Amino acid sequence: MNDHVIRTDGLCLSYQGKQALDNLTLHLPRGGVHAIVGANGAGKSTLFRVLLGFASSDAGSAEVLGCDSRHLTPALRARIGFVNEEHTLPGWMRVDELARMQARLYPRWSDDRYRQVLANFNVGDRQKIAQLSRGERAGVSLALALAQGPELLILDEPTLGLDVVAKRAFLDALLQTSLDDGATVVYCSHQMEEIERVADNLVILERGVLRHMSAPDAFCERVSLWIADFPFRQPEAARLPGVLETRVIDGLTHLVVFDGGVDFGHRLRLMGARTAQQMPVSLDRAVNGFLARGHAGVSPAAFPTTAAA
Ligand SMILES: Nc1ncnc2c1ncn2[C@@H]1O[C@H](COP(=O)(O)OP(=O)(O)OP(=O)(O)O)[C@@H](O)[C@H]1O
């Protein structure tokens, strides 16, 4: 049995000649929390739109829960929860009216789960959706999505603009559902500290291409910060294979390196470094270094895709 909750093969979509998804092959296994990261415009929202059948691809295939995204039936949609970054909900409805409507639509609806999630947010049942703050609306949309009892929950930057307390409540509710109900969560975010906390799998997209997929820890282990002291002149260390980012701080050269290998320090010494020290990096620094090389005009093709099959 194909046990991928999401499966795309050679997916392409361009808007007016701009390639939003570029031959994207992505297979996400069932279970856990999968975080999709990428720079602005990397294709994250476009991918979700294609997966949910809201946009058509130019080529390739997309499947969700084993079904072609172009032909998702209402029964299959009922097994998928979706929270978008705008938390779009009908503003004219009251919170309790909306919940009652959703309860009728979804056979697996759980009032207990709805109440449990909503309790984290300061929302009154009789408030109109339009009167809610952004964070409260986020809480309602998450409570509705989780109460649906989805097998798969897709979230597009769900915590954007939330304060620290609302963010924590949101993530706690998300984790609890993933653990208690066995739902697979797929979400995109720019917040690495969040991803570090909740994600089992890290997916890096760059200009519509899959660049990396592994556990966040495994990714971090492949990225190091090297601090080298070049007493005479700064070398062209950026040319060394795997260098993502270089900076000179207080006379020392800082290099963020991907898969530098055990002899990277030796190479720096051969280039004239008096000392070369290796240090671990945070997920934030590792991902940002990885994405920054694309911004710096370095051709991503110079780096192999490191996605697991
Ligand atoms: N409806 C559209 N019409 C034209 N171009 C679009 C449309 N939607 C997306 N794009 C383009 O497709 C590319 C991918 O956009 P997408 O919204 O998927 O990126 P993203 O990774 O979600 O970005 P962000 O992190 O900024 O939300 C971008 O270059 C964007 O300009």
Across the strands, what pairs with 29? 4
- CA-proximal residue: ligand 1, atom 9 (nearest): 46
Greatest mean pLDDT among 49-63, 118-132, 150-164, 176-190 lies in 49-63
> How much distance in Å is there from the Cα of 47 to the middle of ligand 1?
10
Of the candidates 122, 165, 126, the residue with the CA atom closest to the CA atom of residue 143: 122
Distance, CA of 204 to CA of 288 (rounded, Å): 11
pTM for the model stands at 0.89
For residue 126, the Cα-to-chain-centroid distance in whole angstroms is 34
For 140-271, list the strands marked E by DSSP.
152-156, 184-188, 201-206, 209-214, 223-229, 243-249, 252-258
- Rounded to 5°, angle at Cα 159 from 127 and 53: 90
Quick one: which atom of ligand 1 is closest to the CA of 43?
18
Contact 9, 61 (CB under 8 A): yes
Of 213, 218, 220, 158, whose CA–CA distance to 185 is shortest?
158
Alpha carbon of 210 to ligand 1 centroid (Å): 16
Q: In three state form, how does the secondary structure of 146-178 look?
A: HHCCCCEEEEECCCCCCCHHHHHHHHHHHHHHH
Residue nearest to atom 24 of ligand 1 (CA): 40
**Do 31-52+70-214 and 218-307 agree at the fold level?**
no
Distance 96 CA to ligand 1 centre (A): 34
**Residue carrying the six token digits 């279970």:** 31
Centre of ligand 1 from the C-alpha of residue 156, in Å:
12
Query: Is the separation of the CB atoms in 11 and 62 below 8 Å?
Result: yes
7 - beta bridge partners? 27, 63
SS3 percent helix, strand, coil of the chain, rounded to 5, is 35, 30, 35
Q: Which residues pair with 275 in a beta bridge?
A: 229
**pLDDT higher for 293 or 132?**
132
CATH superfamily of 31-52+70-214: P-loop containing nucleotide triphosphate hydrolases (3.40.50.300)
The span from the CA of 1 to the CA of 163, in Å, is 42
Give me the long-range contacts of 247-252 (CB less than 8 A, separation at least 24).
252/227, 252/228
Ligand 1 site, CB within 6 A = 15, 18, 20, 38, 40-46
Most informative mutation of 8, 14, 45, 191 for ligand 1 (most atoms within 8 A of CB): 45
Q: Is the pLDDT of residue 223 over 60?
A: yes
Confidence of residue 46 (pLDDT cuts 50, 70, 90): very high
What is the model's pLDDT at position 153?
Answer: 93
Third-level CATH fold of 218-307: Alpha-Beta Plaits (3.30.70)
ipTM: 0.97
Pocket test for ligand 1, best of 16, 26, 44 (most atoms within 8 A of CB): 44
Question: pLDDT tens-digit profile of 64-118?
Answer: 999 999 999 988 998 999 988 777 788 899 999 999 999 998 888 999 889 988 8
Q: Chain centroid to CA 172: how far?
A: 17
Mutate to test the pocket of ligand 1, among 11, 14, 15 (most ligand atoms within 8 A of CB): 15
Please determine, for residue 20, whether its predicted confidence score (pLDDT) is greater than 90: yes
Q: How far is the CA of 261 from the centre of ligand 1 (A)?
A: 36
Domain ranges of the chain: 31-52+70-214, 218-307
